[in-house]
Structure 1
Amino acid sequence: MAAEPTPAATDIAWYVDAIGKDAEFASTSQAEATELVSNFMGGASNPFGVPAVIVARAVLEVGADLFYRKTTRNGVVGFGDMEAQPFRLNRDPMAAAYPLLRPYLVIGL
């Protein structure tokens, strides 16, 4: 039996454990996250030279936020475990990306 290929660490479907139709939604979330992060950095050309690993992590975090919005009720997510404490998602899906990206971006003059 052939082993399954290892998913990329930047694959949102793998990160959020999406299967079936959820995997398709995770792909859409990843595309949206890529666009949001790219726009925040000043475009796809990455004019500030943010390292690729930082960009990938920012896209992963933003994409996961966007993905989990689908299953939230009034912005509160519990991840299906009755013992875990539910928490409220940020209204801004970029909230997790800001601290990752800010050290590389020029802020004001």
Structure 2
Amino acid sequence: MSAAPRRILRDIALARSGDKGNRATLSVVALDAADFPLIDRCLTVDRVRTHFEGVVHGAIDRYTLPQLSAVHFVLHDALAGGVTRSLALDAHGKTLSAALLDLPLPD
């Protein structure tokens, strides 16, 4: 019998993003409010910083929005100078929010 595939954040949430200058904003919203406590517990600043090591060079601000079953992050110094200044391909909020949804959930 094979083991069940490991669940990732994408299985229980969606993400929205924005970018302005050298800052990206990422919101992770539970698809079902019952999953919000798990998202709130496992999406810490430290875990997001580790996930984006080498990409986010500044502070990370975290805001909990329980009424929306969401967690919102502001990633400072995350866009290689800003979308219009960066030579990186797709190094803006949309790409970062998709990457965040690949985080494995705890067993």
Return the TM-score normalized by structure 1.
0.34
Q: Which has the higher contact order (CA 8 A, sep 6+)?
A: 2
Structure that is richer in strand per residue: 2
Structure that is richer in helix per residue: 1
